[in-house]
Amino acid sequence: MTTVTEIFEAMATQVESDRLDGIDVVIGWALSGDEATEKTMSIADGALNVVDGLNDDANATISMDSEDFKAMMSGELNPMMAFMGGKVKIDGDMSAVMKIQGLMG
Protein backbone atom coordinates (compact mmCIF):
# COMPACT_ATOMS: atom_id res chain seq x y z
CA MET A 1 0.00 0.00 0.00
CA THR A 2 1.15 3.52 -0.76
CA THR A 3 2.44 5.52 2.19
CA VAL A 4 1.58 9.10 3.14
CA THR A 5 5.15 10.14 2.30
CA GLU A 6 4.87 8.60 -1.18
CA ILE A 7 1.58 10.39 -1.81
CA PHE A 8 3.01 13.78 -0.86
CA GLU A 9 6.16 13.14 -2.93
CA ALA A 10 4.05 12.25 -5.97
CA MET A 11 1.72 15.25 -5.72
CA ALA A 12 4.03 17.72 -7.46
CA THR A 13 4.74 15.41 -10.39
CA GLN A 14 1.43 13.65 -10.92
CA VAL A 15 -1.00 16.56 -11.05
CA GLU A 16 -1.21 18.01 -14.53
CA SER A 17 -0.25 21.69 -14.47
CA ASP A 18 -3.36 22.75 -16.40
CA ARG A 19 -5.45 21.47 -13.45
CA LEU A 20 -3.57 23.95 -11.25
CA ASP A 21 -4.15 27.01 -13.45
CA GLY A 22 -5.84 29.81 -11.54
CA ILE A 23 -5.28 28.22 -8.13
CA ASP A 24 -3.20 30.23 -5.67
CA VAL A 25 -3.42 28.71 -2.18
CA VAL A 26 -1.34 27.45 0.71
CA ILE A 27 -2.85 24.47 2.54
CA GLY A 28 -1.49 22.82 5.67
CA TRP A 29 -1.99 19.11 6.30
CA ALA A 30 -1.92 17.88 9.92
CA LEU A 31 -2.20 14.11 9.79
CA SER A 32 -2.55 11.94 12.89
CA GLY A 33 -2.40 8.18 13.35
CA ASP A 34 0.16 5.61 12.23
CA GLU A 35 1.76 7.90 9.65
CA ALA A 36 1.36 11.21 11.50
CA THR A 37 3.01 14.14 9.76
CA GLU A 38 2.65 17.85 9.06
CA LYS A 39 3.08 19.19 5.53
CA THR A 40 2.36 22.40 3.67
CA MET A 41 1.13 22.36 0.08
CA SER A 42 1.47 25.52 -1.96
CA ILE A 43 -0.04 26.00 -5.39
CA ALA A 44 0.87 29.03 -7.49
CA ASP A 45 1.67 29.76 -11.13
CA GLY A 46 0.58 26.28 -12.22
CA ALA A 47 2.99 24.50 -9.85
CA LEU A 48 2.36 22.43 -6.74
CA ASN A 49 5.00 22.13 -4.03
CA VAL A 50 4.95 20.26 -0.72
CA VAL A 51 7.32 20.94 2.18
CA ASP A 52 7.67 19.53 5.69
CA GLY A 53 5.97 21.38 8.54
CA LEU A 54 3.01 23.71 8.82
CA ASN A 55 3.11 27.27 7.47
CA ASP A 56 1.56 29.84 9.82
CA ASP A 57 0.45 31.81 6.75
CA ALA A 58 -1.53 28.92 5.22
CA ASN A 59 -4.99 29.80 3.94
CA ALA A 60 -6.31 26.70 5.74
CA THR A 61 -5.14 23.63 7.61
CA ILE A 62 -6.74 20.24 7.06
CA SER A 63 -6.59 17.81 10.00
CA MET A 64 -7.37 14.14 9.59
CA ASP A 65 -6.16 10.60 10.25
CA SER A 66 -3.41 9.38 7.94
CA GLU A 67 -5.44 6.29 6.94
CA ASP A 68 -8.37 8.51 5.90
CA PHE A 69 -5.94 10.72 3.96
CA LYS A 70 -4.66 7.69 2.03
CA ALA A 71 -8.22 6.54 1.33
CA MET A 72 -9.19 10.02 0.15
CA MET A 73 -6.19 10.33 -2.13
CA SER A 74 -6.82 6.90 -3.66
CA GLY A 75 -10.44 7.80 -4.39
CA GLU A 76 -11.87 5.36 -1.84
CA LEU A 77 -13.10 8.16 0.45
CA ASN A 78 -15.06 11.10 -0.90
CA PRO A 79 -13.57 14.36 0.50
CA MET A 80 -16.97 16.00 1.03
CA MET A 81 -18.40 12.91 2.73
CA ALA A 82 -15.29 12.71 4.94
CA PHE A 83 -15.81 16.33 5.98
CA MET A 84 -19.53 15.90 6.59
CA GLY A 85 -18.83 12.73 8.61
CA GLY A 86 -16.34 14.51 10.86
CA LYS A 87 -13.27 12.66 9.53
CA VAL A 88 -11.83 15.92 8.21
CA LYS A 89 -11.48 19.15 10.17
CA ILE A 90 -10.68 22.44 8.45
CA ASP A 91 -9.23 25.45 10.21
CA GLY A 92 -9.19 28.58 8.09
CA ASP A 93 -10.57 29.53 4.69
CA MET A 94 -12.99 26.84 3.50
CA SER A 95 -13.05 28.33 -0.01
CA ALA A 96 -9.28 27.74 -0.32
CA VAL A 97 -9.83 24.06 0.46
CA MET A 98 -12.65 23.87 -2.08
CA LYS A 99 -10.18 25.00 -4.76
CA ILE A 100 -8.13 21.82 -4.28
CA GLN A 101 -11.04 19.40 -3.90
CA GLY A 102 -10.84 18.43 -7.57
CA LEU A 103 -7.22 17.33 -7.08
CA MET A 104 -8.11 14.75 -4.42
CA GLY A 105 -8.63 11.13 -5.37
CATH code assigned at 62: 3.30.1050.10
pLDDT (0 to 100) of residue 61: 98
Angle of helix 4-14 versus helix 66-74 axis, rounded to 10: 40
Domain count, the chain: 1
pLDDT in tens, the chain (105 residues): 699 999 999 887 888 778 888 899 999 999 999 999 999 999 998 899 999 999 999 999 999 999 999 999 998 999 889 999 999 999 999 999 988 887 765
Domain of residue 51 covers: 4-103
**Cα–Cα distance between 41 and 52 in angstroms, integer?**
9
